[in-house]
Amino acid sequence: MKAHDGMYIGGQWRPARGPDTIAVVNPADEQVIAHVPAGTADDVDDAVRAARGALPGWAATPPAERAARIAALRDVLVARADEIAETVTAELGSPLQLSQTVHAGVPVLVAGSYAELAASYSFEEKAGNSTVLLEPVGVVGAITPWNYPLHQVVAKVAPALAAGCTVVLKPAEDTPLTAQLFAEAVDEAGLPAGVFNLVTGLGPVAGQALAAHEDVDLVSFTGSTAIGRQIGATAGGAVKRVALELGGKSANVILPSADLAKAVKVGIANVMSNSGQTCSAWTRMLVHKDQYDEAVALARAAVAKYVPGERIGPLVSAKQQQRVRGYIERGVAEGARLVAGGPEAPRETGYYVSPTVFADVTPEMTIAQEEIFGPVVSLLKYEDEDDALRIANGTVYGLAGAVWAADEAEAAAFARRMDTGQVDINGGRFNPLAPFGGYKQSGVGRELGAHGLSEYLQTKSLQF
């Protein structure tokens, strides 16, 4: 795999300030495929300075021109889709087809949506005798995780650019090659120097330096709740804006009137996709007591199709593999019934975890409360609708969810009572314009669509 040995700062690839590097590992075969520089606080400082320098010019660029640059960036992502997909597969381990359709495909939709929004959004409003100006927040520090290496980057960078902000990105240490490709795409799209900057590096070093940098105006973070809490506290201390996309433990509620076979099949597919490494995955399947045994049998049959190394890839790292296997052991120890899978690794090489289904899971069990981030589904039994709602809302998280019923209105009525940021009704399709973000400890702020754009804007009112 091709890798840059420098940082993309101020419109060029510059040598890193320190000598340290990070080894990038292919999780499917455990081979080191590249090394990238491990940035230091000095690299972050250089990048923030470049972003600050570029801010006045970019903020003053008419929205239609910003839109044209974002459209050009989208076009480069389209032209380089194969390379992007291969790179994601190499460093994340996802099957190539998933890399093509989702990892390379979704960022094109999101970048396209912001090219349109930048052109059509009202950056000026009237309110009585006031004119309200919506101005860019300033320099954005973006910190992203590895699970959707390009989507997570584009979901922050595209709206920030649309708003007129400049950006310093610190991508996840496990998937820096996709981020380097993105920097190449930015360059090719002709964005002015310093508008986007990339510093690869470790979370506790480069990430922390970026989150704490006094000249960063907004920190946008996606990752674990533990680190999000720290970043939120640091930002709070500095009275700095922050957006946090954190963990999830979403409920897939199958009401008795639903098409049970379809709901179970789609529910299993939702969790197995990307090897369960999706914050919004519906990891708790809630089934009425009278349909429970049938649902368990359907889930067992559905999960059998996900053969490790074929339809389902490995987890990103040995650390994640260990973590998820630990949760499966914990589920067994707490009395849940293994219906499929288990803690043993299904292949000798690669960080694979067996697609796992647990039955007889009760709401207070660890596997029903904590985010697992692997191919593990828990089936919970409910008595009636109120019981289902209590279970669905009974975690500290509230990122996503699903409801199935014969009638859309019935499902939507249930969804209105859920404490969560997104709900798919009878398997509703992904919408790049739908705001995505958490209730409760799943986060602060929203990404995607117009709501995602407004995160990067601040208001100034002029009274006449």
Q: Which stretch binds ligand ADP (CB under 6 A): 126-134, 170-178, 184-192, 357-365?
A: 170-178
Which range of residues in 140-148, 237-245, 294-302, 350-358 is near ligand ADP by CB under 6 A? 140-148
Angle between helix 81-92 and 176-188 (nearest 10): 160
Is-catalytic flag, 279?
Answer: yes
Q: Which of 165, 173, 279, 371 is catalytic?
A: 279
- The position carrying tokens 């606080």 is 41
And the tokens for 178?
């996709």
Q: From the list 223, 350, 363, 398, which residue makes contact with ligand ADP (rule: CB under 6 A)? A: 223
Could you say whether residue 43 binds ligand ADP (CB under 6 A)? no
Q: Are 75 and 115 in contact (CB under 8 A)?
A: no
Instruction: Please identify which residue in the block is written with the tokens 């045994």.
Output: 293
Closest CA to 167 of 51, 268, 338: 51
Candidate residues 40, 113, 144, 321; the one interacting with ligand ADP per rule CB under 6 A: 144
# chain residues binding ligand ADP, by CB under 6 A? 16
Q: How far is the CB of 230 from ligand ADP (least distance, A)?
A: 6
Give the side-chain half-sphere CA count within 13 A for 244. 28
Nearest distance from C-beta of residue 204 to ligand ADP, angstroms: 5
Q: Is 165 a catalytic residue?
A: no
| Of positions 6, 11, 53, 203, contacts ligand ADP by CB under 6 A | 203
Catalytic residue, chosen from 91, 173, 245, 447, is 245
Q: Does 370 bind ligand ADP (CB under 6 A)?
A: no
Piece of the chain touching ligand ADP by CB under 6 A; list 36-44, 169-177, 374-382, 383-391: 169-177
What is the smallest separation between the CB atom of 210 and ligand ADP, expressed in angstroms?
Answer: 7
Closest approach of Cβ 89 to ligand ADP, in Å? 19
- Least Å distance between CB 431 and ligand ADP? 24
Q: How far is the CB of 80 from ligand ADP (least distance, A)?
A: 23
211 is a contact residue toward ligand ADP (CB under 6 A):
yes
Residue from 40, 208, 220, 378 touching ligand ADP (CB under 6 A): that is 208
Q: Does residue 204 interact with ligand ADP by CB under 6 A?
A: yes
Report in angstroms how near the CB of residue 228 gets to ligand ADP at its nearest.
7
Does residue 227 touch ligand ADP according to CB under 6 A?
Answer: yes
Between 167 and 296, CB nearer to ligand ADP: 167
User: How far apart, in whole angstroms, are the C-alpha atoms of residue 149 and residue 193?
Assistant: 23
Q: Is 143 in the site for ligand ADP (CB under 6 A)?
A: yes
Q: Examine residue 98 and tell whether it contacts ligand ADP (CB under 6 A).
A: no
Q: Which is nearer to ligand ADP, 192 or 204 (CB)?
A: 204
Residue (of 206, 4, 168, 197) closest to 87 by Cα position = 4
> Does 199 interact with ligand ADP (rule: CB under 6 A)?
no
438 binds ligand ADP (CB under 6 A): no
Judged by beta carbon, residue 220 or residue 426, the one nearer ligand ADP is: 220
State which residue, 252 or 317, has the beta carbon closest to ligand ADP: 317
**Cross-strand partners of 379:** 285
Contact 42, 18 (CB under 8 A): yes
**In whole angstroms, how large is the CA radius of gyration of the chain?**
22
Q: Please give the structure tokens belonging to residue 240.
A: 């700095």
> What is residue 191's DSSP assignment?
P
- Beta bridge pairs of residue 340: 357
| Interface pick for ligand ADP out of 207, 313, 421, 445 (rule CB under 6 A) | 207
- Classify burial at 191, counting beta carbons within 10 Å of its beta carbon; exposed 0-12, middle 13-18, buried 19 or more: buried
Under the criterion CB under 6 A, does residue 224 sit at the interface with ligand ADP?
A: yes
**Contact status: 15 vs ligand ADP (CB under 6 A):** no
In one-letter notation, the amino acid at residue 464 is F
Residue 269 has a CB neighbour count (10 Å cut-off) of: 16
Q: Which residues pair with 251 in a beta bridge?
A: 284, 401
**Distance in angstroms (rounded) separating the CA atoms of residues 443 and 397:** 9
CA distance 255 to 386: 11
Contacts of 179 (CB under 8 A, 6+ apart): 144, 149, 153, 169, 171, 198, 200
Query: Does residue 173 interact with ligand ADP by CB under 6 A?
Result: yes
Nearest to 47, CA basis, from 188, 206, 187, 208: 206
For residue 137, the SS3 value is coil
Beta-carbon contacts of residue 233 (< 8 Å; ≥ 6 apart): none
> Angle at which helices 81-92 and 105-120 pack, to 10 degrees?
120
Residue 326 found at the interface with ligand ADP (CB under 6 A)? no
Question: Per-residue x/- marks for ligand ADP, 228-257, CB under 6 A?
Answer: --xx--------------------------
Where do contacts with ligand ADP occur on this chain (CB under 6 A)?
143-145, 170, 172-173, 203-204, 207-208, 211, 223-224, 227, 230-231
Q: Which residues are catalytic?
A: 245, 279
